Structure 1
């Protein structure tokens, strides 16, 4: 047997191929019944997929209302300001108010479908640059194949809601990727970012815990601070300062989801002057306080 060293990828062709690296990171996946779903002006730094098994749920994006249809999935991109409600039990016109529990094998879904909203959701990130697409809600038809995948996922969530096995993780990732592939050009146009902006974007991701200045970032691509700030705004449709704040809060959300760090520790490690400054910025971006987010009292 001869070991071949010459071909690093094992590809015999001399034609280079360019692939887009999508770094899917799962944050949570749940299957609940909701008695109350009055959530207003929510903004979170990750992707969401929503599906309701029964009718009665609504999403609102600015003045557009989406009456959620069981035959469709709803994808919400990061930093989209949106609202939700369950029509059969609508009480609040502001704030975030959720009541419900995860469905298990001990529950008969038919007993809840008339009075509650049977709700599936998963949160995830895609990495640079796809976590910075334009805000929006995408409605995707639930094909027979996607429905088959969804039935498997929700059935497994009723059996196990914590320690997921490899097969479930692979099937969930495959489901998310297939759903995303149906969005179309609205998603993929994000790859056409000026390389100077993308260089700084990646640097911010690596250095999100530091205090980052416009002049420091502009120097990375040999540009004057004001010129780079204009270029960044043109490319990303957000100011450089706001982008940095968004990424810091995105990291904070990740730490709250996957660590036991205190609010004080997270604010310090992300370069904020104190907890109070951090809390003000966090609430201005997400619509809720760090304490509420950390407690998990949202959906």
Structure 2
């Protein structure tokens, strides 16, 4: 007779299993028709998945140009500086310009597909440390299962795009998880970072509103400030100072998404000296002002 090894788990085996946990947090999911999609040098602290039902969309990452096709989805990791374009109606070479509306069941989709760019997008976060992978755009071929999920999501978004039921949430999360599982293993290097760096990383997340110094953070892992700064840069491919600034702006974007808090209130809450300092850092990282981000006019 075998006895249950861990009563609380109901697990009869004595062999320990190690799982990787992440916290998927959905930020938005929309299905739009666009007549303008000129967005340049966008840098935001969340993941994106894009899919266009028809031809004409284009993504640019430095010198790489991705001509979007309906047989692929495009996954963009956080803090990637990229640009978008709708080739049939291109007007701007800088700034962020989007014009369109959500598709509903009242629209004749075939008609709109002949005149507009039919665009699905979702934004989300995965939590520590998965929101700090290397920047990039990843082209993923639509499997039959992904296509089935995508068809369900886009049809439901034409009926309801605000208060989603449990089934929609589960299928959206399933779609996102399967999509990102198709990204190459090299992307996930950050899950194997040094334990000292990960420990400080988690401390920063838990104390993001504080003014954090290199010496204070290095002391947490019993290292000299310069030595820890070098270790952090080697492991994360970013300086400790820039990482903290990025995480503060990421938190600011999250607060903007889910509250009506003022720019002054957020700048104080995140440890900036004043609104002007916060606004300067926010724009240097995202490319737009916090006021424009708060308005939502940049979306897509």
Q: Distance in 2 between matches of 1:145 and 1:21?
A: 24
Secondary structure of 1:83's match?
A: strand
What pairs with 1:1-299 in structure 2 (closer than 5 Å)? Answer: 7-298=7-298, 299=300
Secondary structure of 2:113's match?
A: coil
Please tell me whether the aligned partners of residues 5 and 14 of structure 2 are also in contact (alpha carbons under 8 angstroms): no
Please tell me whether the aligned partners of residues 46 and 131 of structure 1 are also in contact (alpha carbons under 8 angstroms): yes
Q: Distance in 2 between matches of 1:6 and 1:237?
A: 40
The 3 A distance-change label for structure 1 pair 96 and 6 is closer
Deviations 1:197-249 (A, max 9, x none): 00000000100011101000000000011110010000000000000000000
CA displacement at 1:143 relative to structure 2: 1.2
Secondary structure of 1:112's match?
A: helix
Per the normalisation by structure 2, the TM-score is 0.97
CA displacement at 1:184 relative to structure 2: 2.1
Deviations 1:48-70 (A, max 9, x none): 00000000000000000000011
- The root-mean-square deviation of aligned C-alpha atoms, in Å, is 1.1
Secondary structure of 1:114's match?
A: helix
Q: Distance in 2 between matches of 1:6 and 1:284?
A: 51
Q: Distance in 2 between matches of 1:186 and 1:49?
A: 19
Please tell me whether the aligned partners of residues 88 and 115 of structure 1 are also in contact (alpha carbons under 8 angstroms): no
Please tell me whether the aligned partners of residues 130 and 187 of structure 1 are also in contact (alpha carbons under 8 angstroms): no
Deviations 1:236-270 (A, max 9, x none): 00000000000000000000001111111111100
Deviations 1:132-165 (A, max 9, x none): 0000000000111111100000001010010011
Please tell me whether the aligned partners of residues 5 and 13 of structure 2 are also in contact (alpha carbons under 8 angstroms): no
Q: Distance in 2 between matches of 1:221 and 1:5?
A: 35
Runs of 4 or more off by more than 6 Å in structure 1?
none
Q: Distance in 2 between matches of 1:235 and 1:5?
A: 37
Secondary structure of 1:69's match?
A: coil
Deviations 1:85-129 (A, max 9, x none): 000000000010110111111111111112211000000000111
CA displacement at 1:6 relative to structure 2: 5.3
Secondary structure of 1:288's match?
A: coil
Q: Distance in 2 between matches of 1:278 and 1:105?
A: 42
Per the normalisation by structure 1, the TM-score is 0.97
Unaligned runs of 5+ in 2: none
Q: Distance in 2 between matches of 1:236 and 1:6?
A: 37
CA displacement at 1:173 relative to structure 2: 0.2
